[in-house]
């Protein structure tokens, strides 16, 4: 049974408000913004969306001046949300500081080279809302701010959306290469070369029990739940953790640490990944040759604004460097997810 689309997932019930983490607006601040030299990162809308109105485009492409011949893709709106719980009565009940989102918007708007993307969410299966995303180039990637503006409906406590970081290579189909063509990170390109050897190499990693774990190299979607995702799954499924979660029914390997999902380049010299406040689940998926982060943007009353912070990492280094950067940028302690 597709648990994602089951009535149980969409029933509106009150569940105990989870302990407040840094993913609630008004808690943690933005990642550090100071940098000694211009960022090598660039952002643009993908050619895939060139014929759409600006507020309906959802594909971006990232470039890195020091990593030529690569462009990484990003899809910030896809599929349907995971929904659970009740809409809070007001900002105070939701733990939202009214001025927090506006302050972050001003800070990001003043960043050098910032790229903004607006999306009017009125798609089937979604509650009406408006998004503004800020992508601010940094020395090691892109600091990201997502601001959600609700209307009369508000968003329930758990309203989790999927973010997609795409690293397809030269073997993918033409329209996907418009969004992303990054052979340095492409598992599909490697698998095509390895086909006659009967093996597959994984470049995708999650952090579990204090160390990096390679996701199995297979076409089936596989991933892990975060500690926050474990709490939600436990309550949503009456004390039973589902084996598969998400629009692609990703097979959950267990509970990962509060850390990024990432790929290392085939030569081991580069890292590309992402981290979001409020992440509940992570997975890979093919054939888009991508990584997913499911992010809770919910618990927002009607006619209210909420801010969620994230970061796209792309830098010369290794996975341990990434773990240290995430811990520093988001003020988290590296520990086992259990």
DSSP string, 1-13: --GGGSHHHH---
Strand extents, DSSP E, the chain = 41-45, 59-64, 71-75, 82-84, 115-121, 129-138, 141-150, 158-166, 204-208, 211-214, 222-225, 244-245, 250-255, 261-264, 270-276, 279-285, 290-296, 305-316
The angle at the Cα of 322, spanning 317 to 323, to the nearest 5 degrees, equals 140
Cα within 13 Å of Cα(159), Cβ side: 24
115-146: b or e for each residue (b if 16 or more CB lie within 10 Å)? bebebebeeeeebebbbbbbbbbbebbbbbbb
Strands 290-296 and 158-166, sheet pairing: antiparallel
Task: For the chain, 338 residues long, give each residue's pLDDT as a single digit of tens.
Answer: 444 444 444 433 333 334 333 334 444 455 544 445 789 999 999 878 878 888 889 999 999 999 999 999 999 999 899 999 999 999 999 999 979 999 999 999 999 999 999 999 999 999 999 999 999 999 999 999 999 999 999 999 999 999 999 999 999 989 999 999 999 999 999 999 999 888 899 999 999 999 999 999 998 899 999 999 999 999 888 888 999 998 788 999 999 999 999 999 999 999 999 999 999 999 998 778 999 999 999 999 999 999 999 999 999 999 999 999 999 999 875 543 33
Give the residue extent of every domain in the chain.
3-14+21-329
C-alpha to C-alpha distance for 168 and 191, rounded to whole angstroms: 12
C-alpha to C-alpha distance for 76 and 163, rounded to whole angstroms: 5
Contact predicate 142/41, CB 8 Å: yes
Strands 115-121 and 82-84, sheet pairing: unpaired
Q: Strand, coil or helix: what is 146?
A: strand
Q: Is the dihedral of CA 152, 295, 85, 24 positive or negative?
A: negative
Contact predicate 319/10, CB 8 Å: no
């Amino acid at each position: 049974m597709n648990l994602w689309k089951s009535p149980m997932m969409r029933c509106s019930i009150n569940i105990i408000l989870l302990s407040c983490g840094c993913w609630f607006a008004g808690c943690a601040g933005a990642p550090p913004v100071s940098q000694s030299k211009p960022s090598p990162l660039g952002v643009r809308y993908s050619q895939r969306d060139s014929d759409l109105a600006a507020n309906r485009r959802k594909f971006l492409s990232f470039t890195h001046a020091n990593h030529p011949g690569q462009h990484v893709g990003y899809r910030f709106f896809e599929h349907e949300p995971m929904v659970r719980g009740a809409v809070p009565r007001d900002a105070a009940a939701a733990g939202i500081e009214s001025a927090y989102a506006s302050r972050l918007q001003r800070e990001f708007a003043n960043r050098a080279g910032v790229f903004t993307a607006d999306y009017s969410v009125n798609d089937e299966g979604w509650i009406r809302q408006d998004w503004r995303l800020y992508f601010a180039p940094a020395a090691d990637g892109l600091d990201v701010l997502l601001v959600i503006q609700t209307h009369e409906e508000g968003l329930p406590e758990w309203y989790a959306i999927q973010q997609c970081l795409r690293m397809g290579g030269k073997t993918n189909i033409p329209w996907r290469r418009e969004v992303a063509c990054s052979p340095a990170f492409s598992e599909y390109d490697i698998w095509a070369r390895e086909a006659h050897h009967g093996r597959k190499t994984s470049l995708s990693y999650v952090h579990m029990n204090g160390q990096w774990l390679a996701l199995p190299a297979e076409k089936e979607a596989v991933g892990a739940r975060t500690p926050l995702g474990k709490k939600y799954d436990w309550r949503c499924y009456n004390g039973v953790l589902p084996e598969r979660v998400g629009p692609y029914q990703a097979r959950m390997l267990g509970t990962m640490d509060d850390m990024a999902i990432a790929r290392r380049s085939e030569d081991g010299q580069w890292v590309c990944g992402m981290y979001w406040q409020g992440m509940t689940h992570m997975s890979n998926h093919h054939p888009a040759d991508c990584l997913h982060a499911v992010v809770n943007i919910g618990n927002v009353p009607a006619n209210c604004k909420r801010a969620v912070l994230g970061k796209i990492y792309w830098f010369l280094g290794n996975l341990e460097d990434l773990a240290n950067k995430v811990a520093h940028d988001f003020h988290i302690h590296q520990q086992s997810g259990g």
